[in-house]
Chain A
Amino acid sequence: QSALTQPPSASGSPGQSVTISCTGTSSDVGRYNYVSWYQQHPGKAPKLMIYEVTKRPSGVPDRFSGSKSGDTASLTVSGLQAEDEADYYCSSYAGSNNVFGTGTKVTVL
């Protein structure tokens, strides 16, 4: 049950795009199309942004998109806005349990 690996930080200027990677193994990310992404602002509960690798819940802007290749999933935020500055966590189903990523702090410059 090791955490999925994410870069500690990422940044971009307003209007630019940022992509966050999430590396797992053939037992989690590589095996199941149940990768999700969560946004968390300081002191707040996480918010679901992407599920089943590419799907967006109602109300999530289409600036947020997800993909997966092999054991690595990615979240891309296009057209960065100030309110996108937050921590982002990936997660994957892993059979009998779930596992989260180490988290990435996105800074809007």
Chain B
Amino acid sequence: EVQLAESGGGLVQPGGSLRLSCAASGFTFSGYWMHWVRQAPGKGLVWVAHINPDGRTTGYADSVKGRFTISRDNAKNTLYLQMNSLRAEDTAVYYCARAGVPGALDYWGQGTLVTVSS
């Protein structure tokens, strides 16, 4: 069974940093593109970043470019999102998701809440 489990969320002050993790199981992690998607409280889904199977190709939304870094450790079956220079508007539930079919995300984790506030 495919499972994705995010961790690392919490309360952080503006300007601070946080690293999210997404532990994958039930599939060959090293064979799939992976994504981060976020959802601010009461708002819609927003794509954040993606990474290719070997970790050499990444892409970011303009709103996080230069502040967030997506990475992966295929030996540990884990996806990461390093978030620096956090702002209040980064407050959201962050989901990791697998791109298992062309152009779409077929499995999602349950999300981890990041709150940026003083």
Interface hits, A1-45 → B, CB 8 Å = 1, 3, 32-36, 38, 40, 45
Chain A interface size range? 20 to 34
User: Does B72 interact with chain A (Cβ within 8 Å)?
Assistant: no
Nearest chain B CB to A49 CB, angstrom units: 10
Bound Cα distance A3, B40 (Å): 14
Interface hits, B44-91 → A, CB 8 Å = 44-47, 50, 59-63
Nearest chain A CB to B110 CB, angstrom units: 6
> Are the C-beta atoms of B102 and A45 separated by less than 8 Å?
no
- Given contacts A89-B45, A98-B50, A103-B45, is CB(A51)–CB(B104) below 8 Å? yes
The one of B60, B61, B104 that contacts A36, using a Cβ cutoff of 8 Å: B104
Residue ranges of A at the interface with B (Cβ–Cβ < 8 Å): 1, 3, 32-36, 38, 40, 45-48, 51-52, 55, 57, 87, 89, 91-93, 96-103
